[in-house]
Structure 1
Amino acid sequence: MGTTWGTIGGVFGVSLGVTVLVVVMFSLGVAAWPRAGGGTSRHGARRGRLDTVAAAAAVVCFAACLAIAAYGIELIIPG
C-alpha cells in the first residue's frame, strides 16, 4: 500500500483554495457590515441605496461562509 502523492497534493490544493475562499468571503462581509450601518439606520436617517447594497453583500458573504462550513460538516459526519 503506497502513498499516492498526487491525491494528497490535490486534497491539499482544494483545502487551501476553500480556506482562502472562506477567509476572503468573511473579510468582505466584515468590511461591508459597518458601511451598512451594522444593520441599523444611522441617527434615524433614511437608509441610502449603498447602505442597502452593503447590507445585502454582507449577508450574502456570511451566508456563503455558513453554507461552506455546513457542507464541510456534512462531509465529515457520516449520514
Structure 2
Amino acid sequence: MNIDWAALGQVFGVSLVATVGLVGVFTLGIVTNSPRTSGDGPTALARTGAYACYALCLAAVAYGIYLIAA
C-alpha cells in the first residue's frame, strides 16, 4: 500500500480552508441578522446581507452533496 502524502495533505488543507470559510460566512450571517444592542432590529440592508450569507452556505452544501453523489 502506497500513500500519496502530498495529495492527502492537499485534501486536508483545502477541507480545512473550506470549513473555516463556510463557518465564517454563516457566522457573519448570524451576526448581521441579530438585533442590535439598542433594541432595534437589523436594517433591510443588513438582513439582505445575512440572507446572502445563508444562500452562499446553502449553495456550498448543495455543491458538496452534488460532488458526493456524482
| Shorter-chain TM-score above 0.5 | yes
Q: How many residues align?
A: 67
Amino-acid identity (%): 42
Equivalent position SS for 1:57: helix
TM-score, normalization: structure 1? 0.76
Q: What code does the residue aligned with 2:33 have?
A: W
In the alignment, structure 2 segments of 5+ residues that lack a partner are none
Q: For residues 17-62 of structure 1, give each alpha carbon's deviation from its aligned partner in whole angstroms, at most 9, with x where no partner exists.
A: 00001100000000011248xxxx96xxxxxxx7011011101100
Q: What code does the residue aligned with 1:2 have?
A: N
Within a 5 Å distance, the mapping from 1:1-79 to structure 2 comes to 1-35=1-35, 51-78=43-70
In the alignment, structure 1 segments of 5+ residues that lack a partner are 43-49
Moved over 6 A (4+): none
Q: Work out the CA distance in 1 between the residues paired with 2:45 and 2:11.
A: 36
Q: Work out the CA distance in 1 between the residues paired with 2:34 and 2:21.
A: 21
Equivalent position SS for 1:2: coil
RMSD: 2.0
TM-score, normalization: structure 2? 0.85
Structure of larger gyration radius: 1
Equivalent position SS for 2:34: helix
Q: Work out the CA distance in 2 between the residues paired with 1:25 and 1:55.
A: 14
